[in-house]
Structure 1
């Protein structure tokens, strides 16, 4: 299991931690959906192994199976989302501990809550993304019609923060952008 721990974690990263459970549950659900290749609502050890390999993380199948099997409920062939979430939480505690993070968690959750509210202003249709059209509407409402008049210009604004180049901004891209703005203005 030790080899699996090293290959799965590589280096410690705060993005792995569940700092604000309500927000990160959405992130975890997206990851779960990507790993669930056959879309049956379960991730088998084989699907998880395949997903980890595609991310460049080599895992020993028997070690991965021994890590995952305690979280698979009797009668199921794989992890349901709730099981996957429990596994994630367990790995989070194992690799990052919680003792020195308690104070920071409250602050992180408050900050993410504020960013979530700001994001909702832009995400008018509530689909979890800010499109160029949605940004254009908000710019007009803010009295910045000149900046949002031409859709090509608005699309360039979107592409400047759109890391996955899908033509829209998700919450995590928005959060990175807002943190950059806050840091630069401080």
Structure 2
């Protein structure tokens, strides 16, 4: 698929689009911060290409650079968060035909959560184990992934039935809690 000059190696999931307004800002900001490897508050095309590669969604780097550079203000090396929001809206509209957030039902939000859960549930058994969480955090380059103790603490913080793993219901409560805290 080609969108604004970016060829993706796989067709994006409908869940790629961050449709729920209350979760949109939190999720998108988190993506920006995860992709901003050096933490300078500016996201370069190289950082985006690198993050997409780590997630297995890599595209042609020159096409990514071309697409991203059109959103970089003159005199800057990369995207500020506001620029990244504009890029996301542009790509989201191209991928999904400009779906309006107002038209999305609660069922779609549930599907979004299921898709997000599947990213972490690498073996598809219906649970997120500490090892799976550590694996995904490592792919994203998050420092906490280096410590299994820290990863287990993260699991414990949402593990309501104390079984040492996160099921979908616990994941859903956690995600809804993020939306309420805004």
TM-score by length of 2: 0.58
Other-structure match for 2:103: 104
Cα distance change on mapping 1:55 and 1:2 into 2, 3 Å: same
Other-structure match for 1:37: 37
Q: How far did 1:74 drift? A: 1.9
Q: Mapping of 1:18-167 within 5 angstroms?
A: 18-98=18-98, 104-105=103-104, 107-108=105-106, 132=156, 154-156=161-163, 159-161=165-167
Other-structure match for 2:8: 7
Cα distance change on mapping 1:98 and 1:45 into 2, 3 Å: closer
Task: Please state whether the residue corresponding to 1:155 is helix, strand or coil.
Answer: coil
Task: Please state whether the residue corresponding to 1:11 is helix, strand or coil.
Answer: coil
Q: CA RMSD in A?
A: 3.5
Query: Matches of 1:57 and 1:104 in 2, distance apart?
Result: 28
Query: Matches of 2:93 and 2:30 in 1, distance apart?
Result: 21
The alignment of Structure 1 onto Structure 2 pairs a total of residues equal to: 132
Question: Cα deviations across residues 96-124 of structure 1 (Å, max 9, x unaligned)?
Answer: 1136x66632x349968xx9xxxxxxxxx
8 Å contact from structure 1 (residues 35, 43) kept in 2: yes
Query: Matches of 1:70 and 1:87 in 2, distance apart?
Result: 9
**Structure holding more helix per residue:** 1
Query: Matches of 2:157 and 2:15 in 1, distance apart?
Result: 29
Query: Matches of 1:133 and 1:18 in 2, distance apart?
Result: 25
Q: Which has the higher contact order (CA 8 A, sep 6+)?
A: 2
Question: Cα deviations across residues 54-90 of structure 1 (Å, max 9, x unaligned)?
Answer: 1123322221111001111122211111111111111
Other-structure match for 2:135: none
Unaligned runs of 5+ in 2: 114-153, 177-182
TM-score by length of 1: 0.57
Greater C-alpha Rg: 1
